[in-house]
Amino acid sequence: MPSKPLIPDDLVPEFERGLSIAIGTRDGELQADGCSAWAARVHDDREQLTVFLYEAAAPAMLRNLEQHPEIAVLLERPSLQRGWQVKGRFVSARPARDDERADVERQAHGFRAELQAIGIPGELTAAWSLWPCVAITLRAERLFEQAPGPGSGEPLR
Amino acid sequence: MIALESLTSCFQGLIPAWLCTCSADGVPNVAILSHVDYVDSQHVALSFQFFNKSKRNVAENPKALVRICDPDTFQFYALRLRFVRTETEGPLFESMRLRIEAIASYSGLKGIFKLLGADVYEVSSVEPIAHEVGRRLPSVATEPRAGAGVPFTMKALQELSDRIHRAPTLDCLLEVILETLESLFGFRHSMILLASDQPDRLQTIASRGYPAGGVGSEVGFGEGIIGMVAEARKPIRVSGLLRQFLYADAVGRRAEERGLCGEKARIPLPGLPNPESQLGIPLLVRDELLGVLCIEADRSYRFHEEDRTYLEVLGGYLAIAIQNALLRERADDAEAQPLPPRPEPVPATAAATPRLAVEYYRGEELILVDGEYLVRGVPAKILWKLLHERSSGAAEFTNRRLRLDRSLGLPDYKDNLESRLILLRRRLEERCPGIRLVQSGRGRFRLELASGLDLIERP
C-alpha cells in the first residue's frame, strides 16, 4: 500500500494561495539564517516543494544549502494566524522561468492582501522587489503545525 | 553596526517578526514572534509563552537570527543573536507581561496566553535587508508624530499647566485635560476613568472623540489595557491590536481544542470599537490609584515609546490636579451658603413633552429610564433621592447635604461625591436630556426637568 504523501492534498491550494513564507537555513557554525520567499509550489508527488525568492536573497541561502542541505520553510496565513512548517533537504536551485512569473506575482499579491487584512496598508508593501526570482526545491521530510499556542510545532506528518 | 536605538519603530510588534534557530544536530527552524522588545543598546528580548522548538533549539545552540520590520518604511532588518538568559521577574519581564496579559484579558484567555519568561539575547550584528524595503507612506512621512520631539515641548506643557490652573471645577478640569491632549498633543480619542464605588472597578467619567461619550461605562481591574494598567499601576502601550487579537484568538482556539480553557468571550470595554493602538497611564497620587487615562487611535502604531514616557510623567501631574480639584470642591462644599427656604412646589411636567418612566431597582441599585439603563451604584441612589425630593418641591441641592445623608451610604473619608455627580450629570446629558443637573454655585446645583416623571420603585 503506498504511503500517504507528506503534504496532504487539502494543504496544496493553501500553500499556493499567497502566504507569508520564510526560509531557514544554517551554516557550518550552526548559525541560523533566513529570508522571505514570495511563492511556493507543491510538486505532484506531494514530496517536493519549490519556493521562489528574490534573486538578491538567494546567494546567502544557497551558500548554506550547498554545504548543509537542511532547510525549513514556514508558511503562514496572517489573517487566520494559521501556519505550517516544512522541514526537509535541499534538492536543487535554478533561475525562475518567465512562465512562472505570473504565479509568483499572484501569490505575492495574495500575501499583500493578507497583510492588508491585518491592517498593513498595501502602499507600504508596493515597492517590494519580486522579480527575478530563484527557485529552490527541497524534498519535504516532515510537516509541522505552526499556529501559535499550546502544542505549536507538533508534527502533522 | 546600526544602533539598536535607531530601530525603536521596529519594536512595536506591529509587523510580525521571525526567529530562525538551529538545533544542535543542524536542523533549522523558523517561528513567528508576537513581539521583539528593545532592552538596551546590545540586547533584545523575545517573549517566551510556550515551550516550543525555538526554545529547545536555543537551549542547545544559543545562536539565532531574528528579522524585524520598520512599520514606517517596511524596511526589514536581520539581527544576529546569542541567547543569554531568561528573566521571569523584574522590570523587563513585567513590562512584557502586562502587554501580553492585557491582550489575553480582552480575549478571555488570562492564564492561557501569558508570559512565561523574557528571553534576553545579545545582538552581535544588525543588517538592513537591501531588497526587502517598502515605501514610506506620504501620511507617515508628513504627519506630525507624537513623540518625535514636536508635541511635547516646554511651551505645550506650560500651556497645559496654565489651562489646568485656570479650571474652576473638577468638571471643567476633566474637560480641559482631554481637550488639551487633543489640541496640543494630537490625541483625538481619550478617556479618564476614576475608581468606582464598587471594589476594583473603574468608571469612565469623561471622554473625548467618541460618537457616544461612554460616561459611566465600567472596567474591572485586570480587564483589557485599562484594567491591567489599574491592576499593575504601570503604563501600557500596545500597537497593532488587530494582529495581536488574531494571535490571541489563534492561541485560544488551540487551547480550547486541548480543553485548556472554557468558553471564552471578548469583554466589551469602553472606547473605539476596533482600536489599533492604545496607551494607558495610571493616575497615581503617592501610592493611591485615582484612575486611568486611556488614549486610543484607530491607526496602527500611533503611540511611541516617547509618548508613554511623557504621558507617564504627565499622568502624575494630572492625578495631583484631579485630586486637588476633588479636595477643593469638598472644601467649597463646607463653605457653601445654606439654601434659601424651600419654595412652593414646582410643577414637574413640561406641557408638551412626553412623560418619562424612571424605575429604581433597589436591590441592584440601578435606574432605568423608559426601560433603558441609565446609571447604577451611588449615582443611581443620588438621582433617586433627588427625584423624590424634587417631586415634593425641592429644586436646589447642596453637595454638603448629600454628603451628610446616611441613606446614600457614602464613606466618611474620600467619598468621591463630586466625581459621582459629574458622572451622573454627564450620563443624564447623554441618555436622558429631560432631566438635568445644573451647577448653581459653589457646592450646589439645581435639578431641572423638561418632562413629567413617573417614579417607580422596584425591589
Report the pLDDT averaged over residues B271-296: 88
Select the more confidently predicted residue: A96 or B152. Answer: A96
Alpha carbon A49 to its chain centroid, in Å, reads 8
Q: Provide the pLDDT for residue B77.
A: 93
Q: Cβ contact (<8 Å) for B134 and A71?
A: no
| Residues B413-434, mean pLDDT to the nearest whole number | 85
Encode pLDDT of B376-421 as tens digits. 888 899 999 999 988 888 888 988 888 888 888 777 666 778 888 9
ipTM of the complex as predicted: 0.94
Q: Are A71 and A24 in contact (CB under 8 A)?
A: yes
pLDDT at B21: 97
Residue A108 has pLDDT above 70, yes or no: yes
Contact flag A32-B258 (C-beta cutoff 8 Å): no
H or E stretch covering B455: strand B453-458
Contact status, residue B178 vs residue B215, Cβ threshold 8 Å = no
Distance CA B95, CA B100 (A): 9
Residue predicted with more confidence, A125 or B352: A125
Greatest mean pLDDT range, A121-130, B161-170, B336-345: B161-170
- A43 and A8 Cβ atoms separated by less than 8 Å: no
Q: What percent of chain B has pLDDT over 90?
A: 32
| Cell output for B379 | 449615582
Query: pLDDT value at position B280?
Result: 92
Q: What is the pLDDT of residue B442?
A: 77
H or E element that contains B97: helix B91-106
Q: Which residues of A touch B32 (CB under 8 A)?
A: 20, 74, 76, 83, 146, 148
**Cβ separation of A147 and B135 shorter than 8 Å?**
no
A28 touches B at CB < 8 Å? no
Higher pLDDT, B261 or B56: B56
Going by pLDDT thresholds of 50, 70 and 90, the confidence category of residue A155 is confident
Pick B208 or B214 by higher pLDDT: B208
**What's at B418, amino acid-wise?**
E
Confidence category of residue A55, pLDDT binned at 50, 70, 90: very high
A32 lies in some domain = yes
Q: Is the pLDDT of residue B146 over 70?
A: no
Residue A152 lies in a domain: no
CB contact, 8 Å: B242 with chain A? Answer: yes
**Is the predicted pLDDT of residue B1 greater than 80, yes or no?**
no
Which segments of B108-222 does DSSP mark as H helices, in order? 138-142, 154-166, 170-183
Is residue A154 in some structural domain?
no
Q: What is the model's pLDDT at position B334?
A: 60
Q: What is the pLDDT of residue A111?
A: 93
Q: How close B147 gets to chain A, by Cα (Å)?
A: 22
Residues of chain A contacting residue B130, judged by C-beta atoms under 8 Å apart: 56
Which pLDDT band, with edges at 50, 70 and 90, does B140 fall under? Answer: very low
> How far is the alpha carbon of B18 from chain A, nearest alpha carbon, in Å?
8
A-chain residue closest to B60, CA distance = A30
Within 8 A of B53 by CB-CB distance, chain A residues are: 144, 153
For A73, other C-beta atoms within 10 Å of its C-beta total: 24
Q: pLDDT by residue (tens digit) across B78-106? A: 999 999 999 999 999 998 888 888 777 77
Distance CA A140, CA A49 (A): 7
3-state SS, B347-385, equals CCCCCCCCCEEEEEECCCCEEEECCEEEEECHHHHHHHH
Map out the domains of chain B with their CATH numbers: 4-91+104-128 (2.30.110.10), 144-240+276-332 (3.30.450.40), 356-458 (1.10.10)
With beta carbons under 8 A apart, name residues in chain B contacting A133: none
Q: What is the DSSP string of chain A?
A: -PPPPSS-GGGHHHHTS--EEEEEEE-TT--EEEEEESEEEE-TTSSEEEEEEEGGGHHHHHHHHHH--EEEEEEEETTTTEEEEEEEEEEEEEEPPHHHHHHHHHHHHHHHHHHHHTT--HHHHTT----SEEEEEEEEEEEEE--SSTTTT-B--
Asked if residue A24 is part of any domain, the answer here is yes
Tell me, yes or no, whether A156 lies in a domain: no
With cell 463630586, the residue in question is: B418
Which residue in A has a C-alpha nearest to residue B16's C-alpha? Answer: A78
Residue B241's pLDDT band (cuts 50, 70, 90): confident
CB contact under 8 A, B61 and A30: yes
Mean pLDDT of B270-287: 85
Q: Which of A29, A31, A129 should one mutate to test binding to chain B, selecting the residue with the greatest count of B CBs within 10 A?
A: A31
Q: Which residue of B has its CA nearest to A125?
A: B134
Cα distances from A104 to residues A97, A119, A132, B108, B320, in angstroms, run 10, 23, 10, 39, 59
- Count other Cβ atoms within 10 Å, centred on residue B262: 9
User: What pLDDT, in 10s, does the model give residues B8-31?
Assistant: 778 877 778 899 999 999 999 999
Please check whether residue A60 touches B, CB under 8 A.
no
- Distance from the Cα of B266 to chain A's closest Cα (Å) equals 17
A residues 136..155 contacting B (CB < 8 A): 144, 146-153
pLDDT of residue A85: 96
Question: Is A97 inside any structural domain?
Answer: yes
- Interhelix angle B91-106/B224-232, nearest 10 degrees: 140
Range of the domain at A31: 9-145
Position B431 confidence tier, pLDDT thresholds 50, 70, 90 = confident
Overall average pLDDT of the A31-42 stretch: 96
CA–CA distance, B204 with B191 (Å, rounded to integer): 7
Residue labelled with grid coordinates 537591501: B130
Cα nearest neighbour of B68 on chain A: A35
d(CA B441, CA B432): 23
Residues from chain B contacting residue A128 (CB–CB below 8 Å): 74, 132-134
A117: confidence class by pLDDT, cuts 50, 70, 90: confident
> Does residue A3 fall inside a structural domain?
no
From the CA of B179, how many Å to the nearest CA of chain A?
28
The CATH number assigned to the domain holding A106 equals 2.30.110.10
CA distance B228 to B98: 7
- In sequence order, the β-bridge partners of residue B289 are B284
- According to the model, what pLDDT value does residue B144 have? 44
Ramachandran region of residue B263, left (φ > 0), alpha (ψ -120 to 50) or beta? Answer: beta
Average pLDDT over residues B426-445: 87
Of chain A, the percentage scoring pLDDT greater than 90 comes to 73
Q: Look at chain A and report how many structural domains it folds into.
A: 1
